[in-house]
Structure 1
Amino acid sequence: MNKMIVNGLKKRLEGGKGNWVKELPNILWTYRTTPRRSTGEMPFSMTYGTKAVMSIEISLSSLRVAGFTQSHNDECMIGNLDTLEERKDVVSVRLASYQQKLAEGYNRREGPYRVIATARARAYYMEDMEERPLP
C-alpha cells in the first residue's frame, strides 16, 4: 500500500515535492476507490458497504447524483447492509482463488528441487525432480 501511495504522489507531483500535502487526499481517495485485482472490490465498498460517489459525478451531476433522495438512499443503505455478509463471503472465495493461482504460478517456476553441488559460498547447482539442471 505505501509503495502505491508513494508512486501515486510521484506521478502527480512531477518534481514539485512541496505540494505532496495537497495531493495526498486525492491519492488516498484513488487508492480506496480502485478495485483490487485480488478481490474485485474497492476497499471503500468493503469498509462501508456501498459504492463511493466520485467527485466528478457530483460536479457533472450524474444520474446517481441527480436522482438522489434521502429516503431512497436510506433504503439502499439498508439493502447494502443486508447483503454485506454475502458480499464478504464472495470476496473471501475470490481472494482464496487468487492466492491459489498465485501459488500455482510460483510453484510452477520454483517447484521442488535438489541441490547437486556447491558452486561457492551460498551458491549451489540444482536440478528439478526429473534431474533437469536449473539455471
Structure 2
Amino acid sequence: MPYSMAFGFEVVIPLEVGLSTIWTEAYDASHNEEVLARDLDLANERRENALIRMADYQKQLAKTYNQKVQHRECLVGNLVLRKVVGNTKNSTDEKLGPNWEGPYKIVKLIGKCVYYLEDSKGKQVQRPWNSNNLKKYYH
C-alpha cells in the first residue's frame, strides 16, 4: 500500500490526472479497510503457523543430531585422556601438537557427565571437566 493511501488521500502523477489507470479506478476506500483488517488478522495466524513450523523443524533437527551422539559414561577410577583446548595448549606447540593429553584418573563425579581429574602424580586438576572433552584411555 502506498504511503499516501495510509493517510486517506491519494497522490497521482500529472499523467494520471487525464488518463484513468487500473490503480485509480480500482481503489475503493471502504474495501481497502476491509482488506487491511483481514490481512492484519491473517498476519497473527501466519506468525503462529511459522512458529509451529519452526518448533517442529528444531525438534526434527535435534532428533537427527542426537541419533549420532555417543554418550561417554565414565566411572570413578577410570583412566581418561583430556582434550587439549586453547587455555591448556602449550604455546610452543603448533599445528602438529598433541590433541589429547594424559592419562588422568577420574576422582569424583560432580554432576551429569562432569568430573574432577587427577594426574599420574596424584595432583588434582584445578577445574572439573565435561565428558565431551574426555575419552577413555586404553593402556
Range class of TM-score, shorter chain: 0.3 to 0.5
For the pair shown, the structure with the greater C-alpha radius of gyration is 2
Give the TM-score taking structure 1 as reference length. 0.34
Give the TM-score taking structure 2 as reference length. 0.33
With a CA cutoff of 8 Å and minimum separation of 6, indicate the structure with the bigger relative contact order.
2
Larger % of helix: which?
1
